[in-house]
Amino acid sequence: MTKHQPPESVSRPESDRMRHKKQAKRAAILEAALREFTDNGFADARLSAVARNAGVAKGTLYLYFDSKEKLFEGVVRETLLPSGEEGIISDNPHHLSTEAFRRSMLASVADLQNSGRSGIALVVLTEGRQFPQLVEIYVNAVLEPVLAQIDRLAHSDDTARLDVLRRFPQLLIAPVIAGLLWNRFMTGYPPIDLVDIASAQLALVLGDEAASNTAESNEIMD
């Protein structure tokens, strides 16, 4: 009765300070979860460890994410997707020139390799069985556009060796995937540089006129 405030606002949600704190906490949780999932995979990831490393109690996790699955989904959505493979994907459905394609693909691969995203990509890849809807998200957001761009490239001018891409657009990304797995499992062997192997495959498929280019661009990237 004493309230002269508008009655419809029964629960005043948040002040600015609070919003920031919650955002920060959410970010901390996601960061800790990214680490935990990357290191241990989904099944062996411990929510207690995520909570500890995020500096919160276990129960707090459930104020931000409904379940372990949703937390994983959150990590994928906010870590893997945002930067995406912009280089290759881009918004414009125009097809790139062969050289432009080569450059943007290598840039994407370099980005993937140097960010923590490759770890999560690998988890999606290896434990995707349990999360069909996650795989679908990833496919729609990343794989499809990449393959579409490859397909566009395959239907451009040079029909010489490009027709193999029309049958198997996956050929261009296969070495990257295999390289990710190699680096994960073949500990004790020298790791594969994803940019180098992607570059080698590009040379095989598109021609190797840029073999020296590649070396240059590598130096620049590192």
Alpha-carbon torsion angle 107, 109, 113, 115, nearest 10: 60
The SS3 assignment for 18 reads helix
The reply on whether position 47 binds DNA by CB under 7 A is yes
Q: Which does residue 59 touch among its own copies, DNA, none (CB within 5 to 8 A, set by kind)? A: DNA
The reply on whether position 31 binds DNA by CB under 7 A is no
Residue 64 near residue 91, CB atoms below 8 Å: no
69/190 Cα distance (integer angstroms): 34
**Both structure tokens of 111:** 């980005």
Among 21, 209, 41, which residue's Cα sits nearest to residue 127? 41
Site for its own copies in 87-126 (CB under 8 A): 125-126
Site for its own copies in 3-22 (CB under 8 A): none
Q: Exactly one of 30, 33, 34, 45 binds DNA (CB under 7 A); which one?
A: 45
Alpha-carbon torsion angle 89, 111, 155, 138, nearest 10: -50
The reply on whether position 129 binds DNA by CB under 7 A is no
Instruction: State in angstroms the smallest separation of the CB of 25 from DNA.
Output: 5
The reply on whether position 97 binds DNA by CB under 7 A is no
Region from 58-66, 135-143, 171-179, 184-192 binding DNA, contact rule CB under 7 A: 58-66
Residues that bind DNA (CB under 7 A): 2-3, 5, 10-15, 17-18, 21-22, 25, 45-48, 55-60, 62-63, 67-69
